[in-house]
Structure 1
């Protein structure tokens, strides 16, 4: 009977697409490792074939006043940052667990709980809402055009339905994501390319700004645009979670390439399309919502198909976020299994979504939230990547789960002060150099409202972390894991 019970328990923990994934942050044994690095391309491409790319791209030309070529230069530069989630991803197979656990090596057993509670869980709820807002606005617009009488009720209905499907995918977990996102990527790519084909004839390819920005104003616009674009790759410090099932000997370069290209290529293409779209719409239309503009530019049959694509993309992106956030909740010590944790995260994101759809426009929500996320995301991912480089990606899973006093990652009182001080310093530096409609840092204001939050936040965090760990690394007292 005991043997039968063990077999049933093992079957429940298998990483398959046809049953909920019960494994949380616990180690993935070598016998359960599977998958190829190239599988990660679709995992990251599906969430980034997004209508938000159109919105962000249009912001560059329409709101920030950049010429088309200037916008494209900034778009290309920002996509290079996708290398960082690629590097973070390689720590998953090395440790065999979630990134929210791996970061105990940076912040200590106790310190990591505070970092993950803020970034890996609470911020995830906000990020969920940010993406659900896009599909809520477009889905509600479609329902109203089909005769639904109440726009507010339509917003709420779409938000709840999309959130429910998202949580269901997150409950089925890694196996479902790995096996379905290839089909999702191809389907979304076809839909968005057809939409682009219908948009293309309307684009003014010879467009020039009526009042070109120059000098300090140009640098301010370019830097703010870069900050908005950079916030997406910088926010994906959860990439290790999607790679942790891969065999330990999977080639790191292949993992980095598949992750980075999966995120960068669709973003590059469709943000550029958005920048071009910004040449033919007005500021008033943009403020009202790009979803209304797109509906009017597309034939009647394509509008519903496009909305379906937007909803599928939203589910793909937020299912991934919900999935990883469910493990973050476990890693901070909450006694909850992964499936109930995913439901809690989904409920939190739904509440935030309802607040946003009833109080703001899509473009206002997107740009403001993306910029402010940099204050946390830029130093966090910078320190994570630095730790991987300094340790040469040598993480020992057993040490990461040893929470006893005096363990490898107990550090001083359970806190990794080097990592905590680096992230705090980087976040403060980013806040001093951020430039938004709500808050402009004093140093950003001093240099002409130029937003250097991303590069400054990352540079300061890396410098502090390297300096703070220098003595212990030289003495051989740091990074004993592996």
Structure 2
């Protein structure tokens, strides 16, 4: 990977804020973190990403792999490959945080322009709100299942109460911000790992590990790899630097990459393999609340539902923090902590609708299956830009509204056309090759259901950006101070 030779980046255009403890509300938004507020080592990313990814969602994705007709061992092979590919991207998009001290979609402005960067930031925000809402729906359903276990009828009033409690709990960690999230997720990782280890011990005797089955077709391999890659590391890629920006500028890039990539990849691989094992024993494994628990002993149902609730709260915490930063990158003139209330209000409204209307939850899932198609093209442009400029960024040029000057990345009215064109063409390529329950692209249909959406979108976007922008980006890098 390319390594920047830059030392500490220029100071933030805004004044430094007092050092925050884990129990204070973080006031910083997307402005660059001053050197004096950077601390810790890359190892902090291990706990963050492990705590975020050790969740029932991950188990369900493993179960879905088997639903494509794969035997256990073929499922394991594709689970490992898809997660290696996906989390390598998360590791790479974490490298810019220590160098610049700012969030992923602030750095993204180098490739798209300060104004052009608002579009991918908006798409990211919309996607994350959808994921948050989906997580909150499952939290509420798990809470209602717990009440039914206790013999409490789930009337409309009870449902409203559970939704209100879920929203209140969900607000706490994202509102406090980075420092508390990093601290709590580290402990969550250990607690979740212990609980899932017990679950694996209980499931193992019932799973069918012996059958190898027929080798999967190329079409099946493409569908599984697209799902595993997009639902795993790629879905976290646009948050990488949100959580590495508080690391010192001199943090070793290899360690940052390894900690971010392995922190998410290892629990994803292990829990998806657990999900695949569960799916060999029951056909209901893809339903984490009403289906998967049937394979567990009755005494473990309540601990499992509690685990589901807390682990989903952990996932939503990571999503909601980055979602707030993304909405700030769109240009919303409010404090980061205020955006938490915006997201929470939307999620609560969507949850109310979904809990009282099952069809809406299906629509939400369909929406998420398509909106992720922009991620591969965006990541390809973002990382191609980073490689071309060899990790050199003029941090002050990310914030023309703060500095009062247009800066290196202004281009045409604050937009770099090459970046936006590359993403649009990459998205078009992804749509042509997608095979989903909502839409089948014409090229995918012609190829018998082959799904190359993730890879085609990234390849086209990265290639187009390299052809159109390589000279300009290298010229910018030459003008960027290295010390």
Query: Given the two structures, how large is their TM-score scaled by the length of structure 1?
Result: 0.90
In structure 1, distance between residues paired with 2:136 and 2:478: 40
Task: Provide the C-alpha distance between the structure 2 equivalents of 1:436 and 1:227, rounded to a whole number of angstroms.
Answer: 10
Which stretch has the larger CA shift, 305-314 or 172-181?
305-314
Q: Does 1:150 align with 2:148?
A: no
Segments of 5+ residues of structure 1 without an aligned counterpart are: 1-8
SS of structure 1 residue aligned to 2:93: helix
Is 1:50 the counterpart of 2:55? The answer is: yes
Cα RMSD after superposing both structures: 2.4
Q: Alpha carbons of 1:396 and 1:56: their partners in 2 closer, same or farther (altered >3 Å)?
A: same
1:162–1:311 CA contact under 8 A, matched in 2? no
Q: Residues 317-341 of structure 1: CA distance to partner in whole angstroms, max 9, x if unpaired? A: 1111111111222222211111111
Q: How many residues align?
A: 463
Q: Does 2:382 align with 1:378? A: no
In structure 2, the partner of 1:252 is 253
Distance 1:153 1:106, change over 3 A: farther
Matches within 5 A, 1:294-313: 294-313=292-311
User: Which SS does the other structure have where 1:235 is aligned?
Assistant: helix
Q: CA–CA distance in 2 between the matches of 1:274 and 1:362?
A: 26
- CA deviation map 1:233-259 (0-9, x unaligned): 112211101111111001011011000
| Residue aligning to 2:397 | 399
Q: What is the Cα deviation at residue 147 of structure 1? A: 1.5
Partner of 2:250: helix, strand, or coil?
Answer: coil
Q: Distance in 1 between matches of 2:265 and 2:189?
A: 14
Q: Does 1:105 align with 2:107?
A: no
Cα deviation code 1:323-377 (max 9, x no counterpart): 1111222222211111111111122222233333444489967974554243111
Task: Report 1:82-121 matches (<5 A).
Answer: 82-119=87-124, 121=125
* SS at structure 2 position matched to 1:238: helix
Q: In the alignment, which of 65, 71, 75 is matched to residue 75 of structure 2?
A: 71
Q: Contact (CA 8 Å) 2:142, 2:289: kept in 1 or not?
A: yes
Partners of 1:466 and 1:424 in 2: CA distance: 14
Aligned match of 1:267: 268
Alignment of 1:139-218 (within 5 A): 139-150=143-154, 156-207=160-211, 218=217
Contact 1:50 1:310 in 2 (8 A): yes
- How many angstroms does 1:386 deviate by? 1.6
| Unaligned residue ranges in structure 2 (runs of 5+) | 1-13
1:425 correspondence with 2:430: no
Q: Distance in 2 between matches of 1:417 and 1:11?
A: 34
How big is the shift at 1:302? 2.3
Does 1:356 pair with 2:354?
yes
Q: CA deviation at 1:125?
A: 0.6
Per the alignment, residue 9 of structure 2 pairs with: none
Q: Matched residue of 2:415: which SS?
A: coil
Secondary structure class of the residue paired with 1:292:
coil
Counterpart-to-counterpart distance in 2, 1:91 and 1:117: 20
Instruction: Indicate which of 328, 344, 350 corresponds to 1:330.
Output: 328
Higher mean C-alpha deviation, range 32-41 or range 289-298:
289-298
- 1:479, distance to aligned residue in structure 2 (A): 6.9
Taking structure 1 as reference, are residues 286 and 250 closer, same or farther at Cα in structure 2, changes over 3 Å only?
closer
> How far 1:190 sits from its partner (Å)?
0.4
- The match for 1:4 is none
1:215-241 CA-to-partner distances (Å, cap 9, x unmatched) read xxx322222221111113112211101
User: 1:291-338: per-residue Cα shift (whole Å, max 9, x none)?
Assistant: 233333333442222222222211211111111111222222211111
Moved more, 389-398 or 37-46: 389-398
Alpha carbons 2:170, 2:317 under 8 Å: kept = yes
In structure 2, the CA distance between the partners of 1:464 and 1:356, relative to structure 1 (3 Å rule), is farther
Question: Hey, what does 2:228 align to over in structure 1?
Answer: 229
Inter-partner Cα distance in structure 1 for 2:235 and 2:316: 13
Q: Kindly state the Cα deviation for residue 455 of structure 1 after the two structures are TM-superposed.
A: 0.7
- Mean Cα deviation higher: 306-315 or 353-362: 353-362
Structure 1: distance between partners of 2:159 and 2:390: 48
Distance 1:226 1:367 in 2: 19
Aligned pair in 2 of structure 1 residues 295, 68: CA closer, same or farther (>3 Å)? closer
Using the TM superposition, give the Cα deviation of residue 459 of structure 1 relative to its aligned residue in structure 2, in angstroms.
0.6
**Other-structure match for 1:22:** 27
Instruction: State the Cα distance separating 1:10 from its structure 2 match.
Output: 9.0
Provide Cα deviations, 1:425-476, integer angstroms capped at 9, x if missing partner: 11111011000111000000011111110111111111011111123246x2
Q: Does the alignment pair 1:277 with 2:282? A: no
Name which of 43, 64, 86 aligns with 1:59: 64
The 1:353/1:294 distance shift into structure 2, 3 A limit, reads same
Indicate how the Cα distance of structure 1 residues 12 and 392 shifts in structure 2: closer, same or farther if over 3 A, else same: closer
Q: Is the deviation greater in 124-133 or in 42-51?
A: 124-133
Q: What SS is found at the alignment partner of 1:89?
A: coil
Residues 139 and 155 in structure 1, CA contact (< 8 A), matched pair in contact too: no
SS in 1 for 2:290: helix
Is it true that 1:414 corresponds to 2:403 in the alignment?
A: no
Give the TM-score taking structure 2 as reference length. 0.90
